Structure 1
Amino acid sequence: MVHIRIPHLYDDLEKSIAKLEHDQASIVKSRSVVDEALQSDEPLYGINTGFGALANKRVGKEQLKQLQRNLILSHSVGVGDLVPRELSRLMLALKIHALGLGYSGISQKTFKRLVYFWKHDLIPAVPEKGSVGASGDLAPLAHMALPLIGYGSFWNEEGTEVMPAEKVLSEHGIEALDLQPKDGLSLINGTQLMSAYGAYVLEKSLNLMKAADLVAAMSLEALQGSIKPFDERLYRIRPHAGSQQVARNIRQLLVESEILESHRHCGKVQDPYCLRCVPQVHGASRDGLRYCCKVVETELNAVTDNPLVFENGDIISGGNFHGQPLALALDHAKIALAEFASISERRTYLLLEGHDGLPELLMEETGINSGFMIPQYTAAALVSENKVLCHPSSVDSIPTSLGQEDHVSMGSIGALKLLEVYENVEQVLAIELFTAAQALDFRKPLRPGRGVEIAHRFIRDAIPYATTDHYFKDDINRAVELLQERSVVAKVEQELARLV
């Protein structure tokens, strides 16, 4: 099997599914164990029994297929907005990969249909709310499975509207499936909603961490901050890996800086923490996200449904579906990401105060112009919102299934909030990016460090210098696009050196 890693998440999943399309030996092998077990009269959870609190109720052989169909229909109770199409697509890919590991016992026909959906870009529409992150993401995954039996909806190609699954299946000339014993349980048990959100955000965060360092370096230069707090010797004697990486990035970005040389002997003793402690703050967030990546990667390559099927014929009912490992990591990721925005907003504020020759609000004529005053309001609002979003979801638990499922992770709630936090952080960093670019223009003709200069020149091709008030929302949107496209960091790495 292909091992899925966050840095090349999408390529790895493509490879895994391509392999499973042609080699389904693991599916056939695990299914044979289920088929053999069905010949006995032993109670098998969710295969010939009810679910959750109904686990002690036996189901007759003539009703086993109906049991699986009922499971999908009864658990499709999700509410709220739909999960974005690209995240639903990721959920589908992760479910295929997990089933392909060969411990779920799903029937080959059902598995092939999931692969067909993927191959033809038929992405089920999934409501985002309804999971408590314990017996897997039951409601969301039930909605993902609905089109298999002719219910539910698919996204259109643009992700702008949904279409009835029955209609789409008819257009493809295929009929709804008759689920086999255990199929339904294999489909809806699992942590693919939580995993998808975690992997999606963390993959993006790998670039955002570099962008945060670059933007901080721009502000440091614009504010004529000191390079001394980034001295390598400081990080040898407090050797946190994240801090070492950030300090190295800043030193690299400031190579050949004329601005640094111009104030090297200015007599200023210390900069505010938002400049001086960038390695400590950004670095701690990097280390936190590194832990989160490790947990999520483990989950991406794990089997998280129940019961699980083993080669020797054992079918074991356990708790691999419980989302607690993910719930804790996703809460941690929220906090780690939020700190990038928290310190970024402080640097943005500092840029507006008129330090070391910069005009207040970064415009020469204020009064008639508000200058860059109000974008900082937006950054402050988003940082404050993140404080609420970062309340840990994993500290809550409400019993379900008549008390059978008496501790739940609420990791799905943390997952949804993680994406909101990430998007807020992206906006806050974008505001600092175009604010720092404006401030750097006032340092001319002195040149900043090579990395900062490359970034500044690139930004100026997209966002012009502002002489008067204008529709700043366009600047924010374009700055966000530069971060989302990963183009600023890519340009610096292309012309200077790779950031870590």
Structure 2
Amino acid sequence: MNNTFLYGTDHLTIGICLDIASGKTQGIIGPEAAEAIRTSKEEVTKIVHSQQPVYGVNTGFGPMCDTHISEKDTSQLQINILKSHSVGVGKPIPAEIAKIMMITKVHALAQGYSGISPQTLERIIWFIDHDVIPLVPEKGSVGASGDLAPLSHLFLPLIGLGQVFHKGAQLSSAHVLEEYGLVPLALGPKEGLALINGTQFILAFAVKAVQRLGNSLDIADLIGAMSLEGLTGSKRPFDKRLHQLRPYKGTKLVAQRLSALLEGSEIGTSHINCSRVQDPYSIRCMPQVHGASRNAWLHLKELTEIELNSVTDNPIIFSAEDTISGGNFHGQPLAMALDYVTVAAAELGNIADRRCYLMNEGRYDLPKLLIADAGLNSGLMIPQYTTAALVTENKTLCFPASADSVPTSLGQEDHVSMGSISGRKLHQVIDNLEYIQAIELLYASQAIEFRRPLQSAPVIEACHQLVRQHVPPITEDRIFSDDINQLHQLICDGTLLALAEETAILNHINLTKDEEFSIY
């Protein structure tokens, strides 16, 4: 992969966006984009001189769209909009999300339809490259006329206002600019509006959600296979022929992955001729349930990539004589998908909780509560209470924010997407899901102990050994939250998945996903 990305001309993917945010790839303005930016800026200058009314260039905003602004006040208008629209409340969003917002905004503006100046874009790129991250409150956007409040906070530092995170500290932007010998920018006509009118808050949460949920989907298959082994379940329901008869992309992929994970297991072959006819749904229907969540993920990924390469501000400047006040800033396309994927993420936790409950029941030659001396010890009785609580919390977060709309701007903006809420809720659900998966990993690893001396398949054994390096087998009661937090760390920092993938490669096991499931 090329380590340089050309804003405004290259195709931006989720993976490349995340690589720019992490410093693996550098985003720059190339000659083609530079020319388009310069031309668009000149067209806005013509509009100002012509006195032709164009929204946000020489008119007021929202319900004041019919109010004329004089040529001498067009720059002050842009500064005022950044100040007046900075009304966010609540905790700051994660620095990575704010950085993704800047990256995606530069790419949208660099396409040359927004009238932004080259100097303004170069300053935003400077913020990205030097890891100077504006403080953006998490609440206050309704997701149309774009993400006005969070984007206003994001770009206050351009004019020397607001707060930033830099080198581990929260500082005033004025202090950081002075430290680097920079002065605040004087915004030109339309620049303030171009900066704050767009979907980059919603989009940044979608970008990160695609990455996080993609990892959770892989983890769901891996830990689900471990649970199956602990429960001596059958891999027959993952037969390729079965899923060719109902060929959903996600379902076929999950069936293939589960089959590969379980290939060569001594535990699996030890009960081929047992009397059990069918496994419970939480074991047998993993391809259908995990696969449905993968299908939803695919849809969100597709829409997110379209949005990454779109121009979402307003008005759009084709030329001084050809401007369109449209609705590309409206967040509904992503809002509905984010709500749908919130359900998909919650369902991964729901089925994982069912497997935890199943392992606790004392069926299939497992001891009740997964401990040999139950009674004196409560064993793994109570961690399933936590999964039940998290599953229920996730259900309450599944109400679609995009199903609601509250009129704003004195009725001028009479239908809004609420997509910012959709994006934040999805991440709350993924937070809970990662803890549910950590608890299922605790259960599955303990259940496998009762199948010894039989060995599972190579990837599952490697993951089981990794768990045992951090969490010993359970022989008596202890503070299980410590174990849960250890396993949660292995999931969230990528250690568990990295080991699974490395082991699969070494053992010539095909766990690879086709290109459609890649974020690049």
Q: Residue in 1 aligned with 2:357?
A: 349
Output the CA distance in 1 between the equivalents of 2:69 and 2:115.
19
Letter in 2 for 1:333: V
Matches within 5 A, 1:181-330: 181-310=189-318, 314-330=322-338
The one of 21, 28, 45 aligned to 1:19? 28
Tell me, yes or no, if structure 1 residue 140 matches structure 2 residue 168. no
Kindly report which structure 2 residues correspond to 1:445-484, keeping only aligned pairs within 5 A, or say none: 445-484=453-492
Amino acid at match of 2:108: A
Which residue of 119, 123, 142 corresponds with 1:109? 119
Q: Deviations over 1:113-148 (max 9, x none)?
A: 111111111100000111000100000000011111
Structure 1 residue 2: deviation in Å? 2.2
Aligned position for 1:405: 413
State the Cα distance separating 1:312 from its structure 2 match: 7.7
Partner of 1:318, secondary structure, is coil
Root-mean-square deviation over aligned CA pairs: 1.6
TM score, norm. by length of structure 1: 0.96
Mapping 1:115-130, distance limit 5 Å: 115-130=125-140
The CA distance in 1 between the partners of 2:119 and 2:15, in whole Å, is: 32
Could you tell me which of 416, 423, 428 is aligned with 1:420?
A: 428
In the alignment, the residues of structure 1 paired with residue 225 and residue 338 of structure 2 have an alpha-carbon distance, to the nearest angstrom, of 28
For residues 249 and 40 of structure 1, what CA distance do their matches in structure 2 show?
63
Secondary structure of 2:382's aligned partner: helix
Moved over 4 A (4+): 12-17
Q: 2:517 maps to which residue?
A: none
In structure 2, what residue type is equivalent to 1:274? S
* 1:72 match: 82
Deviations 1:270-319 (A, max 9, x none): 11110011000000010011001111111111110011122585222111
Question: What per-residue deviation string (whole Å, max 9, x for no partner) do you get for residues 235-255 of structure 1?
Answer: 011111111111111110011
Letter in 2 for 1:475: D
The Cα offsets for residues 162-191 of structure 1, whole Å up to 9 and x where unpaired, read as 211122222122111111111100100010
Aligned residue identity for 2:126:
Y
**Secondary structure at the counterpart of residue 79 of structure 2:** helix
Q: 2:342–2:426: 8 Å Cα contact kept in structure 1?
A: yes
Note the C-alpha offset of 1:472. Answer: 1.4
Stretch moving more, 412-421 or 203-212: 203-212
Return the alpha-carbon distance in structure 2 between the equivalents of residues 203 and 312 of structure 1.
40
Task: Tell me if structure 1 keeps the 8 A contact 2:46–2:320.
Answer: no
State the match for 1:98 in structure 2.
Answer: 108
Look up the match of 2:437: 429
* Cα separation, 1, equivalents of 2:484 and 2:451: 22
Cα offset for 1:368? 2.8
Where do 5+ consecutive residues of structure 2 fail to align?
1-8, 514-520
Q: Which among 61, 66, 82 is matched to residue 56 of structure 1? A: 66
Give, in whole Å, the separation in 1 of the partners of 2:256 and 2:375: 41
Worse-matched range after superposition: 421-430 or 148-157: 148-157
For residues 203-255 of structure 1, give each alpha carbon's deviation from its aligned partner in whole angstroms, at most 9, with x where no partner exists. Answer: 12222211110000000010011112111111011111111111111110011
Query: Aligned to 2:10, what secondary structure does the other structure show?
Result: coil
Matches within 5 A, 1:356-375: 356-375=364-383
Checking the alignment, whether the CA contact within 8 Å between 2:47 and 2:320 is kept in structure 1 is no
CA spacing shift, 1:492–1:318, aligned 2, 3 Å: same
Displacement of 1:11 in angstroms is 2.5
Match of 2:51 among 16, 30, 41: 41
Alpha carbons of structure 1 residues 314 and 16: separation in structure 2 relative to 1, 3 Å: farther
SS at match of 1:18: strand
Cα distance, 1:458–1:293 mapped onto 2, change above 3 Å: same
Q: CA deviation at 1:15?
A: 8.3
Asked if 2 retains the 8 angstrom alpha-carbon contact of 1:2 and 1:15, the reply is no
**Aligned-partner Cα distance in 1 for 2:453–2:25:** 53
Take 2:473 and 2:321, find their aligned partners in 1: how far apart are those partners? Answer: 69
Shift of 1:45: 0.5
The answer to which of 36-45 and 12-21 deviates more is: 12-21
Contact 2:63 2:410 in 1 (8 A): yes
Unaligned runs of 5+ in 1: none
Identity %: 48
